[in-house]
Structure 1
Amino acid sequence: MTATREAADSVLTGLSGIRNWQEDFYRDLHEHPELSHQEFATAGTVAERLRGSGFQVHDGVGGTGVVGILANGPGPTVLLRADMDALPVFEKTGLDYASTVRVTDADGNDVPVMHACGHDVHVTALLGAAQLLAEGAEHWGGTLVALFQPAEETADGARAMVDDGLAALLPTVDVAFGQHVLPVPAGMVGIHAGPFLATADSMRITVHGRGAHGSMPQSAVDPVVLAAMIVIRLQTVVAREIAPVESAVLTVGSIAAGSKSNVIPDHAVLQLNIRTYNEQTRTTILDAIRRIVTAECQASGSPREPEFELFDRFPLTDNDVDTTKRLAEAFSTFFGDRSIELPQGMGSEDFSEIPNGLGVPYSYWGFGGIDAAAFQKAAELGRINQDIPVNHSATFAPVIQPTLDTGTQALVIAAMEWLAR
């Protein structure tokens, strides 16, 4: 056994002593979720726990972000990140700690709130890892940064922290890590070197028509028909303009037009989501969307040019190859056959904004949150897609254990690979 592994094991001996508070904390956080940019109570609790573990704490970074710094003599600086925000989803898990929270969102709408993406797991695991590393400080040297980020779901929380002077708060960071709970068997840890998660762009398109009575369509330019033709034509972009060896997704997630069956409205709004792995493919798709929408508007005789708005852009998650190889070896040594290589995914994250803003290498991995027996049964029946809830689902609820243990262990192993004496 290597000295690094021995040091990591020594730090992790404290895991059994924190399970009770971690599990209670997780249930409470799951029951009391907060939307992006509204993570005030979560941030306050996080800051309190970090101070209790001896961290120097900066709060209110980028709005509600929290940064804990634990200096422990000479050595590298490792940054560990967790995201804190929840989603406007009505929870249907049936858990006794299910969320019943409703709040007013940024647009003034009354919405339900749920930790439907597992950020409550991320927060709990990082708090546990921070406590274990603080209590096991004799086994490592350097500086640990525990960063709790707001607003990942709106793709602007990481950038907000960077723009708010994150770098000035920190010593020179050597490497940054993040993780995400996934709909795979609990206890598994998976990693992928190079491009791992896709870029994502959301686009809002407004097309204009001419309103009229439903009985007099000859007097109208019908934006509903126009929007329908755009949706159909957009399905050809990936199929006919992107090389088959490239990965890309173009989804029309929302169409809004009109308010009554016998009224032809004067405009329609479409919302699109585009996911790619490189800038050339992204540019090709965005250009094709504008070309197709403009042409369909002209073909329909629209009285005004269409309007395009890009929002919620997620960057590419491109894991540093050398860093990820080193981390994969550490995971394999600790987790054995529970450590796997994950394929690329079309999901997206804004975590990379932080290491990119700091100019440091990074690696981002996934770990399982689904009951292993339930997953195996679904696999045997060929019903994984039907029976296993995924992130953002109203029924997504990671099993508490071994999910929390695994997430906590993975963070400690990653940190200790760089910090161990």
Structure 2
Amino acid sequence: MRSAIHFLGFTLLGTLAAGICQANETRWVDDAVAAVNTQVIDWRHDIHQHPELGNMEVKTSALVATQLRSYGLHVRTHVGKTGVVGVLEGGKPGPVVALRADMDALPVKEMTGLAFASEVEAVRMGKTVPVMHACGHDTHIAMLLGAAKVLAEHKDQIEGTVVFLFQPAEEGAADVDDMDARTVIGAQAMIRDGALDAPKVEAIFGIHVMGGYPTGHLFYKSGTVLNSSDTFKITVNGKQTHGSAPWSGIDPVVASQGIVSGLQTLVSRRIDLTKGMGVISVGTINGGSASNIIPETVEMTGTIRTNNASIRQSILEKMPPLVSGIAGAYETQSVLQVVHHAPVTVNDPALTEAMLPALMQAAPGKVERLDSSLSPSEDFSYYAQKVPGLFVFLGATPADQDMQKAPNNHSPYFTVDDATLATGVKAHVQFVLNYPHRRSLGSAAL
């Protein structure tokens, strides 16, 4: 981290020096962000108190579209179902960049005790569930709305065009079964509906708040930054019989335990761990109706996470014959379903290093390089497969708190410090302002 990093023939030191000159030209950003900060916080509180599940972000989308139109942006709605795309043309010629925020909440009952805590319930796949912004998407929306306002008010300073992507269903869709592999949602649906094509985007940026990381700090990593995500369901069919006479039936419970154990060998014995890591976790096992009956069927579901594309592919290729083979050994039959939610999220190396000045201008003295990739997954990865992308993390926990004890994202106690929102707004703005200059240093790599 302390050694010189070369980028297109320039040392990182030289790139940062150039960033100082760029900073002198964008000193207005801090004042502009400060002017909109109260409104950003108000938006965040309102959105947090009124969360909506994936593909159900109707009121949230309406709020976003209304605000973007009030700034004079060209706005498209119903992109990827409930997504919103806003386009701002700058006052100077230049490239097209995109900024992305996700809008959906989670089926979690809020336990934070905040004055603006959610009490919302909604229907997810026919069941009424509590709803909470337990992953910070409320802050993502508010920060990007704030950045859009700042950039629109200073569009004469912008070189090129900015595309604002407000995406639904990053966490999944309330109207789509988790095991439905046919329906396209989230980032894939936005891409299908032309979110990156009109106008043609050449680079994309995203920010995600993180519990357990200090407020106002930005964290980044070149290359692999988040895991892939695949969900599986295995149905094991046997022959129901009385528990006192197992020999008269075929036991899917015993077969299921063999499958659970066997799945772990895919990671421990059958993939090259020098390339990265992989995890296969079974989260649910359901079967049977009484203690003295061997059931006809057992169903299990789980998740596959990896930080390497070849490891992911290897697991996905080896899993079907392993499951069917173990099931057959117990004289049962199995059905395996796998749904692919997100590939590995990869930050474009050249873009990452080129944007260091932008990060440092957004959070002076509070920018840190991650030593390793993080375990969650994000469908931002689909955008980054289409165009160079950079996905960074923003600390959400006050610096005086114990980071090890802070509730993580997806916890019912997860909270975000409002003081960190201004840094997120600045980062979005600085990405837009810095990208054309970095691009001119080496357009071939960007």
Structure 1 residue 167: Cα displacement: 4.2
Trace 1:326-365 onto structure 2 (pairs within 5 A): 326-342=354-370, 343-357=372-386, 360-365=387-392
Matched, 1:62 2:80: yes
Give the alignment of 1:271-420 within 5 angstroms: 271-302=301-332, 304=333, 306-342=334-370, 343-357=372-386, 360-375=387-402, 384=404, 387-401=405-419, 403-419=420-436
Aligned to 1:17: 35
Match of 1:381 in 2: none
| Residue identity opposite 2:281 in structure 1 | T
Q: 1:22-74 CA deviation, whole Å, 9 max, x = no partner? A: 11211111111111111111101000011111111000011001000111242
Deviation at 1:277, TM superposition (A): 2.7
| Pairs aligned (count) | 405
Q: Distance between the aligned counterparts of 1:272 and 1:81, measured in 2?
A: 29
Cα distance, 1:416 vs structure 2: 1.0
For 2:95, the aligned partner's letter is P
Secondary structure in 2 aligned to 1:18? helix
Give 1:408's aligned amino acid: V
Give the C-alpha shift of residue 3 in structure 1.
4.6
**Counterpart check, 1:227 vs 2:256:** yes
Cα deviation for residue 349 of structure 1 reads 1.0
Q: Quote the Cα distance in structure 2 between the aligned partners of 1:3 and 1:351.
A: 31
Deviations 1:292-350 (CA, angstroms, capped at 9, x unpaired): 32122112111x3x111111420221111111101123323542331001221121111
Residue of structure 2 equivalent to 1:186: 215
- C-alpha root-mean-square deviation of aligned residues, in Å? 1.9
Residue 81 of structure 1 is matched in structure 2 by: 100
For the 8 Å contact 1:242–1:281, the answer to whether it is kept is: yes
Q: CA deviation at 1:101?
A: 1.1
- In structure 2, give the amino acid aligned to 1:10: W
One of 125, 146, 149 as aligned partner of 2:167: 149
2:57 is equivalent to residue 39 of structure 1: yes
Secondary structure of the equivalent of 2:411? coil
Structure 2: distance between partners of 1:128 and 1:372: 24
State whether residues 10 and 136 of structure 1, in contact with CA within 8 Å, keep that contact through their aligned partners in structure 2.
Answer: no
The partner residue of 2:286 within 256, 261, 283 is 256
d(CA) in 1 for partners of 2:78, 2:25 = 34
**1:130 equivalent in alignment to 2:130:** no
Q: How far 1:236 moved relative to its partner?
A: 2.6
- Letter of the 1:190 counterpart: F
Secondary structure at 2:376 match in 1: coil
Identical pairs, percent: 40
Q: Which amino acid aligns with 2:312?
A: R
Closer, same or farther in 2 for the Cα pair 1:7/1:137, shift >3 Å?
Answer: farther
Distance 2:360 2:163 in 1: 24
Q: Does 1:207 align with 2:236?
A: yes
SS at match of 2:290: coil
**CA gap 1:332/1:17 in 2 versus in 1, 3 angstroms:** closer
Tell me the amino acid that sits aligned with residue 230 of structure 1.
Answer: I
Contact 1:251/1:272 (CA < 8 Å) preserved in 2? yes
Is the contact made by 1:125 and 1:404 (CA closer than 8 Å) also made in structure 2? yes
* Deviation for aligned residue 1:174: 2.5
CA contact (8 A) 2:362 2:423 kept: no
CA distance in 2 between counterparts of 1:296 and 1:405 reads 54
Q: Assess if the C-alpha contact under 8 Å between 1:82 and 1:123 holds in 2.
A: yes
Gaps of 5+ in 2: 1-18, 173-183, 441-446
On the 8 A contact 2:234/2:301 being kept in 1, the answer is yes
Contact 1:227 1:268 survives alignment (8 Å):
yes
Matched to 1:163, the amino acid is: R
Report the Cα offset of residue 419 of structure 1: 4.9
SS in structure 2 at match of 1:270: strand
Amino acid at match of 2:267: V
Query: For structure 1, which segment, 214-223 or 50-59, has the greater mean C-alpha deviation from structure 2 after superposition?
Result: 214-223
Q: Secondary structure at 2:27's aligned position in 1?
A: helix
| Aligned partners of 2:362 and 2:427 also within 8 Å | no
User: d(CA) in 2 for partners of 1:72 and 1:205?
Assistant: 52
Q: 2:136 & 2:196 partners in 1: Cα distance? A: 27
Letter in 1 for 2:321: R
Question: Which AA in structure 2 matches 1:182?
Answer: M
- TM-score normalised by the chain length of structure 2: 0.86
Which of 1 and 2 has higher RCO (CA within 8 Å, sep 6+)?
1
Aligned counterparts of 2:250 and 2:434: Cα–Cα separation in 1: 64
Shift of 1:291: 2.9
Matching of residues 82-101 of structure 1 within 5 Å: 82-101=101-120
Secondary structure of 1:13's counterpart equals: helix
Stretches of structure 1 that go unaligned for 5 or more consecutive residues are 379-383
By how many angstroms is 1:418 displaced? 2.1
Give the Cα–Cα distance (whole angstroms) in 1 for the partners of residues 319 and 325 of structure 2: 10
Say whether the 8 Å CA contact 1:226–1:300 is kept in structure 2. Answer: yes
Where in structure 2 are the equivalents of 1:103-114 lying within 5 Å?
103-105=122-124, 107-114=125-132
1:406 and 1:84 map into 2 onto residues whose CA distance is 19
Q: State the alpha-carbon separation in 2 of the partners of residues 117 and 67 from structure 1.
A: 22
Q: Deviations over 1:374-414 (max 9, x none)?
A: 13xx5xxxxx1xx221111111111111x211111111111
With 263-272 and 329-338 compared, the bigger mean Cα shift is at 329-338
Q: What's the counterpart of residue 10 of structure 2?
A: none
